[in-house]
Every structure is written in C-alpha cells, then in structure tokens.
C-alpha cells in the first residue's frame, strides 16, 4: 500500500528534479538559447546542489502564513495612525526615496529571475530562480502596501512607478537593473544573485530596517522581518551559482572574476544613495555609512573572498578605491540632492548642528576639512533668504548615470573625471571603474538613456524646467520638492502635533 504522505526527499525529487524532461526530437540547445553565448561552460547540470530544499507546496504555505501576520500588522498600523509615531517627518523622505528607487527594483528582480528561471537548462537552478522570482514579486507588493499608509498623509509617494522610469536620479537604480537583465543568465546571477544579494544587500536592508526601527516606523520594520527568511534563501542561491560555475570548468574563472569586478563597482556606486540615507536622512541614526561599510563589506565580504580564494577568485577590482571613498560619498551625495532640491520628489535640508557634530565625530578625517564648509555656506545663504538651489543640469556618468560628483581620492577637492572615444564620440565617466565597464562593452552603454541628455534632446517635454518636473516627472511642484522647511509635509506634521 502506498504511503499517504510522501517523505520530504521523495516530495522534493518529484516537485523539482522530476519536473524536467529529455529532449528526444527537439534540439536542447534551441530550447535554451541563452545558455552559451556568455562563454560559461557547464559540463554537468546534475552537479548543481540545491541550496534550499523547498518545494512549491511548502513555499505557498510558509508565504501565506507570513503574509497573514504581515497584513494584520499593517492594518493595526493604519488603524492606530502609525505615521504619527515616526521620529520626525524628515524620516518619511527616506521612505519616498526607497519607494521610488528601491521597490521597483524588486519588480525588476522578479522579471529578471523569471527570465533566468526559464533559460537555465538545469532544472534545479530553474526552480530555485522561479521561487526567488515569486519572492521578489511579493516584496514589491508588500513594500507598496506598507508605504500606502504614508501616501495618505505625506507628499511624494503617489507616482513611484511612473517616476522610476523617468526621474533623473532614479535612472541610476533603474539602469543598474536593466543592465543586469539585458545580460545573459549567468551574468545576471553574478550581478543580482551574488554581488547584490549576497554581499551588498546587507548594506541596504540592515541599515534600512534598523533605521526604520530607530525611527518608529513599524510598518517598514515588519516588512523587513517578513522578507528576511527570503533574503537568506536568495543569498544561498547567489553563492551556489558562483561556486557551481567555478567548479564546472576552469575557463569560467576569468569570466566570473570580470563580472564580479563589474558588479561590485556598479553595486557600490548604486549604494551611494543608501550612504546618504544613513548619514543624512535618518533623524535617529543607526550607524554611519563608514561603519556599515566596514562591518558588512570589509569584514563580512573580506571573509567571503577569502573563502572564494580557493577557486582563484580575488577581491573585486578597485576595492582599494572604494575603501577610501567610504569617507566621502554620503556627504557628496546629500550635497548633490540638497543643491538639486528643486528637482527632487522628496525634501532636502541642512543637517542640524547636532547632526553636523555627529558627522564630525564619525568622519574625523574628512568631514570638517571637506564637507562642513559646504553646510556653512548653505546656512549663510539660507540666512540671507537665498536657499541654494544650483542652476543648470549636471554632467552624468555614461555607465552609472550618477552626476559626476565623486572626487579624486588623492585630491578630494577635485571631481574625478574620465573619458574615452568610441566610434568618434566622446563618453564621460565618474571613475576608472565605470570607464572600464564601458570599454568592455561599448555597444551596450552607448544606448544609455541619460536623463540630462534626453531633456536637451527635447524628449522629456519642456523646455521649461517646471513643465518637465510637473508633466514629465509628475512631481507635484511646490509640495513634493524643495526644502523641508516650509513644506506642506512640515506644516501638516506641526498641526497634528499641536505645534505652532
């Protein structure tokens, strides 16, 4: 008599590996056309070790339970006017940046993992990627739901999806993911599965979720907890893919190393936004960006690369530049947003005196020397009634699409600028890292949709900047943008709190 219930091993076999079939009359290569063009050699997909033995039936069960708890808390948060418990209305601006810049990346991750979950010819890898794809879709949904309560009370959250595809600073995270998604399946896995999920995601989630906890935002904290078990699975998958490629064929090593170099550089550039959230946008600080970088990249990442050394993998190229930049980038980024605060979908402000002192303490070698004078100048201008909004539009990096705000680490007063000629046209870069990436695949990056250039080509409406902001970006001009001081957000908050 057959057992009523399958044991875990049999269930796992039937619901993953046995979902595959052989190709008896079709050419297997035609069924998986993306598998070879990147140059990665797989000799035996059966050697794939499933990083987590999860089957679809238990996946649904776990996720449904988590979802039930999560939405109960969202309801309670909403019914109890949870938004009134945040530390300071400035905090909500970090959420605006998260919703417009990061949540849509979860959606892009869902699309990307669905694609590789189709294109790998190994069934174990396919099933794992399909599950991650579903996780990512769930993450974008729960993030949108977590923040929908804030959207009822604060400006700047209402057009996140429209803005992600258009607004100048959002082209940075957007193009990061479209770069990964338009690569082959193996590069996508190194880009997102390994570099981003395994090594860099901690720098995004840990500070952000701790930041939410430190600032009274229970909705976001709860989302973070609910996503944590998924993230652990994603990290395991990212690492498994790397090890699998390296164990399959020695020719894969230089390709994998090249991708690691590229995606660490791209990832750290992307995290510039997070550095600024941590050091400037959280009213109650968790730790400085520099400290986070030391804990999560230098220590944790360093140990990982030591482990990968047995395969011949070395630390990502330009790690030594990144190590120096940890003292600078958050300050440079917030100054950029502050001075372009008329063109942002969230509010910006001059740090308070206590915050300036905290920054001096956390960055003893750089803050007073290079960055405090910027804020002294801003204060001086503000006192004269001339809050500083810079004129014109900045030069952008062709690869990371960030304004060319980074500086030379041997002379932090001077912007770092690189360029190269390709087919007679000049291309500009913020760094050697971004220039190298372009030079490896110029035909890819000549297609960059650079917001500043698109504006000047007349593809974003206008030419009046106010029209571009309100009609093309759908920024509610005068409410979503400009300084925190005097904003409708601030006015409403003071009214709720009974302040003058």
- Residue 361 near residue 309, CB atoms below 8 Å: no
- Mark residue 40 as left, alpha or beta (left: phi above 0; alpha: psi -120 to 50; beta: remaining): beta
Identify which of residues 51 and 412 has a Cβ nearer to other proteins in the complex: 412
Q: Which stretch binds other proteins (CB under 8 A): 4-12, 55-63, 319-327, 393-401?
A: 393-401
Identify which of residues 424 and 498 has a Cβ nearer to other proteins in the complex: 424
Distance CA 87, CA 82 (A): 11
Is 27 a binder of other proteins (CB under 8 A)?
Answer: no
Q: Which stretch binds other proteins (CB under 8 A): 77-85, 263-271, 426-434, 492-500?
A: 426-434
Selection from 195, 215, 198, 190 nearest residue 277 by Cα:
215
Selection from 289, 306, 137 nearest residue 227 by Cα:
137
Give Rg (Cα) of the chain.
24
Identify which of residues 104 and 451 has a Cβ nearer to other proteins in the complex: 451
Is 414 a binder of other proteins (CB under 8 A)?
Answer: yes
Selection from 418, 403, 383, 284 nearest residue 335 by Cα:
403
Distance CA 447, CA 171 (A): 13
- Residue 321 near residue 262, CB atoms below 8 Å: no
442 membership: H or E segment, kind and range: helix 442-445
- Residue 107 near residue 134, CB atoms below 8 Å: no
Identify the residue among 13, 17, 38, 206 touching other proteins (CB under 8 A).
38
Interface positions, 142-201, toward other proteins (CB under 8 A): 183-184, 187
412 membership: H or E segment, kind and range: strand 411-415
Is 392 a binder of other proteins (CB under 8 A)?
Answer: yes
Is 116 a binder of other proteins (CB under 8 A)?
Answer: no
- What binding mask, one character per residue, do residues 331-370 give for other proteins by CB under 8 A, x or -? -x--xx--xx----------------------------xx
Distance CA 132, CA 174 (A): 19
CB of 438 to other proteins, least distance (A): 11
Identify the residue among 54, 78, 388, 467 touching other proteins (CB under 8 A).
388
Q: Which stretch binds other proteins (CB under 8 A): 132-140, 219-227, 407-415, 479-487?
A: 407-415
- Residue 66 near residue 226, CB atoms below 8 Å: yes
Identify the residue among 272, 344, 407, 487 touching other proteins (CB under 8 A).
407
Is 37 a binder of other proteins (CB under 8 A)?
Answer: yes
Is 205 a binder of other proteins (CB under 8 A)?
Answer: no
Identify which of residues 224 and 403 has a Cβ nearer to other proteins in the complex: 403
Q: How many residues would you count in the chain?
A: 500
User: Tokens representing 25?
Assistant: 């009359």
- Residue 88 near residue 351, CB atoms below 8 Å: no
The residues, any chain, with a CB within 8 Å of residue 341's CB and separated by 6 or more, are 347, 348, 389, 481, 482, 483
Identify the residue among 58, 87, 111, 390 touching other proteins (CB under 8 A).
390
- From the CB of residue 295, how many other CB atoms can be counted at a distance below 10 Å? 16
Identify which of residues 176 and 429 has a Cβ nearer to other proteins in the complex: 429
Q: Is 151 exposed, middle or buried (0-12, 13-18, 19+ CB in 10 A)?
A: middle
CB of 428 to other proteins, least distance (A): 7
Is 428 a binder of other proteins (CB under 8 A)?
Answer: yes
Identify the residue among 302, 312, 364, 373 touching other proteins (CB under 8 A).
373
Interface positions, 431-490, toward other proteins (CB under 8 A): 440-450, 452-454, 456-458
User: Tokens representing 79?
Assistant: 């019914």
Identify the residue among 58, 87, 158, 395 touching other proteins (CB under 8 A).
395
CB of 259 to other proteins, least distance (A): 11
- What binding mask, one character per residue, do residues 93-112 give for other proteins by CB under 8 A, x or -? --------------------
Residues that bind other proteins (rule: CB under 8 A) add up to a total of: 59
Cis peptide before 148 (omega within 30 of 0): no
Is 423 a binder of other proteins (CB under 8 A)?
Answer: yes
Coil, helix or strand for 121?
A: coil
What are the φ and ψ backbone dihedral angles of 418, each rounded to 5 degrees?
A: -130, 155
- From the CB of residue 136, how many other CB atoms can be counted at a distance below 10 Å? 24
Q: What beta strand segments (E) does 90-175 contain?
A: none
Identify which of residues 225 and 370 has a Cβ nearer to other proteins in the complex: 370
Q: Which stretch binds other proteins (CB under 8 A): 81-89, 303-311, 319-327, 374-382?
A: 374-382
CB of 252 to other proteins, least distance (A): 14
Is 427 a binder of other proteins (CB under 8 A)?
Answer: yes
Identify which of residues 10 and 386 has a Cβ nearer to other proteins in the complex: 386
Distance CA 475, CA 345 (A): 6
Identify which of residues 214 and 340 has a Cβ nearer to other proteins in the complex: 340
Distance CA 233, CA 307 (A): 19
The residues, any chain, with a CB within 8 Å of residue 392's CB and separated by 6 or more, are none
Identify the residue among 111, 415, 420, 470 touching other proteins (CB under 8 A).
415
Token pair 């238990």 is found at 58
Q: Which stretch binds other proteins (CB under 8 A): 10-18, 202-210, 314-322, 422-430?
A: 422-430
CB of 214 to other proteins, least distance (A): 28
Q: Which residues bind other proteins (CB under 8 A)?
A: 33-34, 37-39, 183-184, 187, 332, 335-336, 339-340, 369-370, 373-374, 376-377, 388, 390-396, 403-405, 407, 412-415, 417, 419, 423, 425-428, 440-450, 452-454, 456-458
């Amino acid at each position: 008599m057959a057992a009523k219930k399958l044991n875990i091993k049999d269930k796992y076999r039937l619901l993953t590996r046995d979902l595959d079939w052989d190709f008896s009359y079709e050419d297997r290569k035609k069924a998986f056309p993306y598998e070879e063009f990147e140059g990665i050699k797989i000799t035996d997909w059966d050697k794939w070790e499933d990083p987590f033995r999860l089957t679809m039936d238990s996946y649904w069960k776990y996720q449904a339970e988590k979802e039930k708890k999560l939405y109960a808390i969202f309801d309670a948060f909403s019914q109890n006017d949870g938004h009134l418990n945040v530390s300071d209305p400035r905090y909500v601006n970090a959420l605006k940046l998260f919703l417009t810049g990061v949540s849509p990346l979860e959606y892009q991750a869902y699309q990307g993992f669905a694609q590789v979950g189709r294109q790998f010819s190994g069934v174990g890898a396919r099933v794992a990627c399909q599950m991650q794809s579903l996780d990512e879709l769930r993450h974008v949904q729960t993030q949108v739901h977590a923040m929908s309560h804030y959207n009822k009370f604060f400006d700047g959250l209402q057009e996140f999806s429209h803005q992600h595809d258009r607004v100048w600073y959002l082209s940075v995270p957007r193009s990061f993911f479209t770069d990964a998604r338009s690569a082959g399946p193996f590069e996508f896995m190194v880009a997102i599965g390994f570099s981003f999920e395994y090594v860099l995601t901690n720098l995004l989630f840990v500070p952000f979720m701790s930041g939410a906890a430190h600032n009274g935002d229970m909705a976001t904290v709860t989302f973070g907890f609910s996503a944590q078990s998924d993230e652990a699975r994603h990290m395991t998958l990212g690492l498994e893919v790397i090890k699998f490629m390296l164990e399959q064929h020695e020719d894969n090593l230089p390709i994998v190393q090249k991708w690691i170099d590229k995606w660490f550089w791209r990832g750290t550039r992307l995290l510039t936004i997070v550095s600024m959230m941590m050091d400037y946008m959280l009213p109650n600080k968790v730790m400085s960006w520099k400290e986070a970088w030391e804990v999560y990249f230098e220590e944790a990442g360093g140990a990982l690369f030591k482990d990968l050394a047995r395969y011949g993998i070395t630390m990502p190229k330009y790690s030594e530049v990144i190590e120096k930049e940890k003292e600078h980038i958050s300050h440079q980024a917030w100054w950029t947003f502050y001075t372009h605060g008329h063109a942002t979908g969230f509010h910006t402000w001059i740090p308070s005196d206590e915050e300036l002192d905290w920054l001096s303490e956390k960055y003893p070698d750089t803050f007073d020397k290079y960055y405090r004078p910027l804020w002294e100048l801003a204060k001086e201008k503000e006192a004269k009634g001339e809050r500083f909004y810079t004129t014109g539009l900045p030069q952008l990096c062709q690869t990371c699409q960030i304004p060319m705000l980074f500086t030379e680490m041997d002379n932090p007063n001077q912007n770092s600028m690189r360029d190269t000629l390709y087919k007679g046209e000049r291309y500009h870069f913020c760094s050697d890292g971004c220039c190298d990436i372009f030079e490896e695949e110029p035909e890819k990056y000549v297609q960059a949709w650079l917001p500043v250039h698109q504006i000047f080509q007349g593809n974003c409406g206008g030419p009046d900047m106010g029209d571009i902001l309100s009609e093309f970006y759908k920024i509610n001009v005068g409410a979503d943008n400009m300084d925190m001081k005097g904003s409708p957000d601030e006015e409403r908050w003071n009214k709720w709190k009974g302040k003058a």
